């Protein structure tokens, strides 16, 4: 079973992401409303993919991404950035920090599913 961690301070966005991905076979989900909560979830169990917002109150998504990439235990977890920031600078910064993919909100559920399936190599 593959585990996806959705990290966004908006419960509505988390619900939308989870609703989009629920049809994927062999996948379970976790949620975190903050970057610090995401770090706790990472420490508690295996995570195979993270979907992370950039704008969060306690820890910016780039800080979380840098933490993941700097930690030997988590550095290979794929991270999709899902954000409202649609500028080239934000995209470049995220990809330079180690993001696997960068998507903007509002997002197309089919595109998110395609990205997740490709990264996780599931049906």
Q: In this structure, what token pair is assigned to residue 28?
A: 């379970």
Is pLDDT above 70 for 123?
A: no
pLDDT value of position 23? 86
For 18-35, the pLDDT digits (tens) are 999 998 989 999 999 999
Q: What is the mean pLDDT of the chain?
A: 96
Q: What is the mean pLDDT of residues 69-84?
A: 97
Prior bond to 18 cis, omega within 30? no
Is pLDDT above 80 for 122?
A: no
Task: Identify the burial level of 43 via C-beta atoms within 10 angstroms of its C-beta, where 0-12 means exposed, 13-18 middle and 19 or more buried.
Answer: exposed
Fold of 2-118: Rossmann fold (3.40.50)
Is pLDDT above 90 for 39?
A: yes
Residue 49: count other Cβ atoms within 10 Å of its Cβ. 22
For 97-113, the pLDDT digits (tens) are 999 999 999 999 999 99
Delimit the domains of the chain by residue range: 2-118
Percent of the chain with pLDDT over 70: 99
Q: In this structure, what token pair is assigned to residue 116?
A: 């997740």
Q: In this structure, what token pair is assigned to residue 95?
A: 């990809």
Q: What is the mean pLDDT of residues 43-61?
A: 95
pTM listed for this prediction: 0.96
DSSP secondary structure of 81-114: EEES--SHHHHHHHHHHT-SEEEESSPPHHHHHH
């Amino acid at each position: 079973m593959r585990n996806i961690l959705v990290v966004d301070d908006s419960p509505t966005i988390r619900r939308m992401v989870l609703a989009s991905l629920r049809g994927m076979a062999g996948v379970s989900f976790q949620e975190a409303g903050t970057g610090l909560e995401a770090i706790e979830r990472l420490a508690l169990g295996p995570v195979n993919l993270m979907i992370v917002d950039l704008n969060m109150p306690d820890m910016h998504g780039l800080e979380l991404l840098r933490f993941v990439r700097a930690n030997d235990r988590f550095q290979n977890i794929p991270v999709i950035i899902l954000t409202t920031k649609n500028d080239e600078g934000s995209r470049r910064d995220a990809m330079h920090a180690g993001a696997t993919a960068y998507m903007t909100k509002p997002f197309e559920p089919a595109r998110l599913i395609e990205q997740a399936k490709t990264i996780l190599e599931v049906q």
